[in-house]
Structure 1
């Protein structure tokens, strides 16, 4: 009897331990191919956290697209996501804005070296420091000196972490482009533009408004005209309202449902997309046959011979000349990572409907694991 009890206890502990090292949720991964197994191993480290909700992965290798899904689109009921589930993609949105800028430059509508004030209505005398103006190039490599957000309310970020998303949601609920430009007129720089790195959502939002002024079209219209319609990205939008039936619900680390990203942040972090659409976007970026894509992958700021920033894209090159071109994204309730390796014709997108201080790093780790395993296969 004691042996039976011991064996039963051993099996219980074994099953529990195994559960702690496997994804804690449902999946459509059939575990039949080498890629299937590589995804499972990579995702295990991400999904093992009890905070995670859902995850959709898109993999592009050459002309082939693969999709894998884990978890749930909502914690209220168990519903596995698929490649058409829509997520907030956060700051990966900046790469879309970067493409539109690259398009405007190749169309000779503006230059990277231009003073941003050329393209703004009204007077902005404070958008310079010691006679040096903020230029378009400073907006895309985060050296403008502009604050992370407008309105500039640093006291909000001193509140409890749980309250910040809701305070920001209330602040931005009725915040307009006109209010943004009025606040921009009050900004006083404390450093020379082009020298110090300071991540700025304000800079990307400003660039979105500049593009609207140049083309005399809304940001959403520009996206559809130059990216979404040509690439058949029908599940990518500037507003979640158009995609309500496909939209996952976002959560924080405690499983609290989070508010949506404010509409004013569209150009800096407010786009919605699916793994299927992002795979199309990755394929377009990987080929680098489009002049604007190629230009957006060119350094605008270099830290070393092998690392820097293009037009919003982060760029790292290994000793073999293989480039890793990437961007992360995080909103109140979503985390994302998009990375391409043009020399290897491989790219990944990972979209999660949960955000915490470790989620973006865990997505990067999962993608790096996938890359090593697929290249080594």
Structure 2
């Protein structure tokens, strides 16, 4: 989830400090430690205020961090340091939708309009309605950030979603003309996923929490994955930085909470992606299997399931299931390879991508 406006260029930031001691599980191999520590050392001097990486294979897990997260408790960044995870939130929303499908309460072919509050009227294409599946695969045609929103004189681009209410969403939908028939072309949309959240009776962040906590984060034991932090969690939260290295506020996604409102940790994200590799019996496990099935081609190399992207790793060719995220001051990546039983999570507190780090690590640990 990213801002539509490019941040102004400015001064750089200090280089990363020494690598923090990693947390190794009993079965951790020297290979995992070597791979992660090498990436952290390579990141030094590349502008990351802090960086935390977690990597696992079938034999163990290793988590380590580097830099200064600016967290009030003064601790060195690690697996329990809290960051905004941005659009990785969408995978939780997709899983909540899949649970509705598994329980028989809705179908991907159903019009999304059927489940929305009355004041939110979706545009149609020559009478064809946008379906739940169209939104889950980013083929709805709904803009990610409406032009009328971008023109608001009171918008604060450091926290661009904060001012928008359900009334603003309704107005934007009335002004939207779909560019094509829904279900045909992948076109990533934060607003559409926000509407998927509204269809689950999710309003702002607190209401999103009331849906996700009992259905997903609670059962999976993700104690630090939340839209609202406790006092203790706030003391573990990293300070975000924009592309210039200046500190910047957290984003408050409000009515589009389902698109990017969650905070999280590397420890939680590793637990989360592990659950997809060995889904438990029952509705949640069935939903986890459902969301990682390919539904629509993004391009010749990639497909999308339910808010998860699927593509082969560049060297090993193993299938990678992944999502990344970004707010004004944070970047994130979580992914796993079903064929090799491996997974990765990377978090940083600056608007600087971490995708290449994550992909390189998974490719190395998922090799032939």
State TM-score, norm by structure 2. 0.83
1:53-89 C-alpha deviation (Å, 9 max, x unpaired)? 1011122223733211111112999752121110000
Secondary structure of 1:246 counterpart: coil
Please tell me whether the aligned partners of residues 40 and 65 of structure 2 are also in contact (alpha carbons under 8 angstroms): no
Q: CA deviation at 1:176?
A: 2.6
Partner in structure 1 of residue 43 of structure 2: 46
Partner in structure 1 of residue 270 of structure 2: 279
Q: Distance between the aligned counterparts of 1:58 and 1:38, measured in 2?
A: 10
Are 1:329 and 2:320 counterparts?
no
1:286-343 C-alpha deviation (Å, 9 max, x unpaired)? 2245110010001121246763100010001469873200011110000011110011
Aligned pairs (5 A) from 1:122-161: 122=118, 127-150=123-146, 152-155=148-151
Please tell me whether the aligned partners of residues 29 and 36 of structure 1 are also in contact (alpha carbons under 8 angstroms): no
Stretches (4+) displaced over 6 A: 75-78, 318-321
Q: CA deviation at 1:241?
A: 5.6
Q: CA deviation at 1:112?
A: 0.7
Aligned pairs (5 A) from 1:76-95: 79-95=75-91
Q: Distance between the aligned counterparts of 1:335 and 1:320, measured in 2?
A: 25
Partner in structure 2 of residue 15 of structure 1: none
Count residues in correspondence.
340
Alignment counterpart, residue 98 of structure 1, candidates 89, 94, 98: 94
Secondary structure of 2:157 counterpart: helix
Please tell me whether the aligned partners of residues 158 and 251 of structure 2 are also in contact (alpha carbons under 8 angstroms): no
Q: Distance between the aligned counterparts of 2:171 and 2:230, measured in 1?
A: 28
Q: Distance between the aligned counterparts of 1:68 and 1:281, measured in 2?
A: 18
Aligned pairs (5 A) from 1:29-68: 29=21, 33-49=30-46, 51-62=47-58, 64-68=60-64
Please tell me whether the aligned partners of residues 208 and 267 of structure 1 are also in contact (alpha carbons under 8 angstroms): yes
Secondary structure of 1:343 counterpart: coil
Partner in structure 1 of residue 166 of structure 2: 177
Q: CA deviation at 1:199?
A: 1.3
Are 1:296 and 2:268 counterparts?
no
Please tell me whether the aligned partners of residues 324 and 341 of structure 1 are also in contact (alpha carbons under 8 angstroms): yes
Secondary structure of 1:299 counterpart: coil
Q: Distance between the aligned counterparts of 1:310 and 1:316, measured in 2?
A: 11
Q: 1:117 to 1:147 in 2, by over 3 A?
A: same
Partner in structure 1 of residue 19 of structure 2: 27
Q: 1:348 to 1:152 in 2, by over 3 A?
A: farther
Partner in structure 2 of residue 203 of structure 1: 192
State TM-score, norm by structure 1. 0.81
Q: Which has the higher Rg, Structure 1 or Structure 2? A: 1
Q: Distance between the aligned counterparts of 2:139 and 2:35, measured in 1?
A: 38
Secondary structure of 1:129 counterpart: coil
Please tell me whether the aligned partners of residues 122 and 130 of structure 2 are also in contact (alpha carbons under 8 angstroms): no
Partner in structure 2 of residue 7 of structure 1: none
Partner in structure 1 of residue 3 of structure 2: none
Q: Distance between the aligned counterparts of 1:333 and 1:67, measured in 2?
A: 22
Please tell me whether the aligned partners of residues 126 and 188 of structure 1 are also in contact (alpha carbons under 8 angstroms): no
Q: Distance between the aligned counterparts of 1:334 and 1:190, measured in 2?
A: 31
Q: CA deviation at 1:239?
A: 2.3
Q: Distance between the aligned counterparts of 1:345 and 1:186, measured in 2?
A: 46
Please tell me whether the aligned partners of residues 53 and 75 of structure 1 are also in contact (alpha carbons under 8 angstroms): no
Partner in structure 2 of residue 190 of structure 1: 179
Partner in structure 2 of residue 254 of structure 1: 244
Q: 1:99 to 1:75 in 2, by over 3 A?
A: closer
Q: 1:312 to 1:39 in 2, by over 3 A?
A: same
1:117-166 C-alpha deviation (Å, 9 max, x unpaired)? 1112326665101112111111111111111125743457xx9xxxx993
